[in-house]
Amino acid sequence: MTPLLEVDALTAGYGGVAVLRALTLNVGVGECVAIVGSNGVGKSTLIRALLGQLPRVSGTIRFGDRDVADLPVEDRARLGMALVPEGRRVFPGLTVLENLEVASGQGGARRRQSLDIVFDLFPVLTSRRGHRAWQLSGGQQQMLVIGRALMTEPKLILMDEPTLGLAPIVSRDVIKAIGKIARIGTGILVSEQNESRLGRLVTRVLKLEAGHLAPL
Amino acid sequence: MAALQLLVNGLALGAAYGLVALGFVLVLNATGAVNFAHGDWVMAGGFVAIALTGALTSILPVEFAGGGAWVGLLLLPTTLVVMAGLGLIFCRVAYTPLKNQPPVTIFVSTIAVGLILSNGINAQFGGAPRSTPPLFGAGQFSLGDLVISHQSLSILGTAIILIGGLGWLMERTQTGRRMRAAAQDPEMARAMGIRVDRLIAVSFALALALAGAAGLLLANQFFITPSSGGALMLKAYLAVTIGGWGSLRGAVAGAMLIAFFEIGVASLTSQPVAEGLLYLVLFAILFARPQGVFGEAIGHRA
Ligand SMILES: Nc1ncnc2c1ncn2[C@@H]1O[C@H](COP(=O)(O)OP(=O)(O)O)[C@@H](O)[C@H]1O
Ligand SMILES: [Mg+2]
């Protein structure tokens, strides 16, 4: 499998306290990897460090064929990393449509094409496209944030507990959509608590414990 | 007729105040910090226009330079460009080095810039009141009893174009959408590849360009001195508080209300009474709607 993300000996944390300790991780092109671990073990920390929201202490992060460990967040995003953060974080005052459009690095026909893909994936957003994002339900916001990530035409989406706090029925819709995204060949690194609810759609499940990843 | 004349003058003044307030809101939204130098930048814009008037008059062939109207016409775009450039420098000097500091640190830094501006301009131009040339010559229309100066109409026209242009940029373009997104959640905007720092610099450039336009327009009818900044700052602050902190629409509405009191209410009562009444209205608005008239009460759902 062609490597997409190669992380080696990554150490990162907060104020001298290492949360990740010489962590190693590989994600291949189009692969869907789940990271499970209990609350506070460092899943969000890992995702933030991969995107550059948290400076690493040491270690290498290769993405595609580039060393991205010293690049600022926006450059990593432009190379094809997208984020579905913990707690959703829509742009509350922008409409649903604007939340999607703003993420696109493309104009014209190509942006419309991406919009079609997102609205196909989440039909419920179509009827709410003119609403301000804060007016959406939690599940709809989560769909919007996943859609927003797709609008950047990413190679890898980092999803931080995407079903957290959602009703089971909504959660199932979100998981189904993640499966569809994985099937079109977008790489996915998704964190979850304790055990993976994503089932067969993940290629591998890794457990985060004591700052390391290990196969489950 | 007198009422109609007051209306035109009031709208023109409100439009000019609107430009002042919009510039203030642009930087507020981009940085989350109060730019306390904004009034001084409006004042500085007036002096930039005065300096450019001298320069343009000496460069232009006499037949143009003599007429005044041509100088005024060239003055607007050159003032906008020079002020936009100063906006980039202002951003670089007073904001960028402090961007990771709390807003109050940036606030203090802009206070320092405001002081430097008013003292520097005082040293250069002296403290005497100065004025800018009118935009399209100094004439006036009369329609029956109605007398409207060209300058009032120029202010109104210029402000409508600039405010409309800004509205179009913010609402209809990708740059504007990105500026709004970055204002709401800069960290998330970066995570989508948006170059937030660049948009912040653009906001400063736009803000100072608008300040320059306001300074140029206002300093024709009302003289300016290097210490005019404080009063202008207060008007921007009031307009934004009335209209809703962060709202562009609200800033213009608030500015219009201030001008309505300064011209309309003052003509019926007196200047001090009108000012007192304005503050009463401000309190009433804040009491009824603490987020301001156009302030968006962005709610949260579970
Ligand atoms: N901003 C922060 N400052 C200091 N410590 C933090 C911060 N964020 C998280 N931590 C600590 O880092 C550890 C990992 O947190 P996190 O990555 O959020 O875990 P998870 O996402 O797996 O629940 C926890 O012990 C948490 O207390
Ligand atoms: Mg977490």
- B145-201: pLDDT as tens digits: 788 888 888 889 999 999 999 999 999 999 999 999 999 999 999 999 999 999 999
The rounded distance, in Å, linking the Cα atoms of A14 and A7 is: 19
Nearest to A43 by CA among A153, A179, A150, A164: A164
Per the structure block, which two tokens stand in for B126? 């002296």
Using the atom order of ligand 1, give the atom closest to the CA of residue A15.
Answer: 4
Average pLDDT over residues B129-141: 82
Residues in contact with ligand 1 by the CB-under-6-Å rule are A 14, 19, 37, 39-45
Query: Does the pLDDT at position B302 exceed 50?
Result: no
pLDDT-based confidence at residue B301 (cuts at 50, 70, 90):
very low
Per the structure block, which two tokens stand in for B76? 């607007």
Establish if B192 touches chain A: CB-CB under 8 angstroms.
Answer: yes
- Positive or negative, the CA dihedral B293, A128, B164, B230 is positive
Query: Which residues lie below 8 Å from residue A59, measured CB to CB, with a gap of 6+?
Result: A7, A8, A9, A10, A11, A12, A22, A23, A69
Q: State the nearest Cα–Cα gap between B165 and chain A, in angstroms.
A: 19
pLDDT per position as a tens digit, A23-59: 999 999 989 999 999 999 999 999 999 999 999 899 9
Average pLDDT over residues A90-108: 95
Query: Does the pLDDT at position A174 exceed 70?
Result: yes
Helix (H, G, I), strand (E, B) or coil at B123: helix
pLDDT per position as a tens digit, B13-57: 999 999 999 999 999 999 999 999 999 999 999 999 999 988 888
pLDDT-based confidence at residue B297 (cuts at 50, 70, 90):
low
Q: State the nearest Cα–Cα gap between B193 and chain A, in angstroms.
A: 4
Residue B63, pLDDT score: 60
Establish if A89 touches chain B: CB-CB under 8 angstroms.
Answer: yes
Look-up of token digits 């990593």: A76
Look-up of token digits 């913990």: A86
The answer to whether A46 touches A208, Cβ cutoff 8 Å, is yes
Query: Does the pLDDT at position A87 exceed 50?
Result: yes
pLDDT-based confidence at residue B65 (cuts at 50, 70, 90):
low
**Range with the lowest mean pLDDT among B41-50, B110-119, B145-154, B243-252?**
B145-154
Centre of ligand 1 from the C-alpha of residue A45, in Å: 6
**Range with the lowest mean pLDDT among A69-83, B78-92, B240-254?**
B240-254
Q: What are phi and psi of A128, to 5 degrees?
A: -110, 15
Residue A192, pLDDT score: 92
Residue B246, pLDDT score: 87
Helix (H, G, I), strand (E, B) or coil at B186: helix
* Percentage of residues in chain A having pLDDT higher than 70: 100
Residue B300, pLDDT score: 45
Query: Does the pLDDT at position B66 exceed 80?
Result: no
Look at B190 and A72 and tell me if their CB atoms are within 8 Å.
yes
Average pLDDT over residues B234-262: 92
* Percentage of residues in chain B having pLDDT higher than 90: 64
Where do runs of H (alpha helix) occur along A96-215?
96-101, 108-121, 123-126, 138-151, 168-183
Look at B177 and A101 and tell me if their CB atoms are within 8 Å.
yes
Look at B180 and A132 and tell me if their CB atoms are within 8 Å.
no
Q: What is the mean pLDDT of chain B?
A: 89
Average pLDDT over residues A67-72: 95
B136 or B1: which leads in pLDDT? B136
Nearest to A56 by CA among B120, A65, A47, A64: A47
Centre of ligand 1 from the C-alpha of residue A19, in Å: 8
The rounded distance, in Å, linking the Cα atoms of B52 and B68 is: 13
Per the structure block, which two tokens stand in for A207? 């457990």
Residue B202, pLDDT score: 97
The rounded distance, in Å, linking the Cα atoms of B31 and B34 is: 8
Query: Does the pLDDT at position B260 exceed 50?
Result: yes
* Residue whose CA lies nearest to ligand 1 atom number 3: A14
Look-up of token digits 């270690």: A59
Q: State the nearest Cα–Cα gap between A75 and chain B, in angstroms.
A: 6
**Range with the lowest mean pLDDT among A63-67, B69-73, B107-111?**
B69-73
For the entire predicted model, the pTM comes to: 0.91
The answer to whether A159 touches A197, Cβ cutoff 8 Å, is no
Query: Which of A20, A45, A46, A207 gets mutated to test ligand 1 (max ligand atoms within 8 A of its CB)?
Result: A45
Establish if A92 touches chain B: CB-CB under 8 angstroms.
Answer: yes
Option in B177, B299, B300 nearest A102 (CB): B177
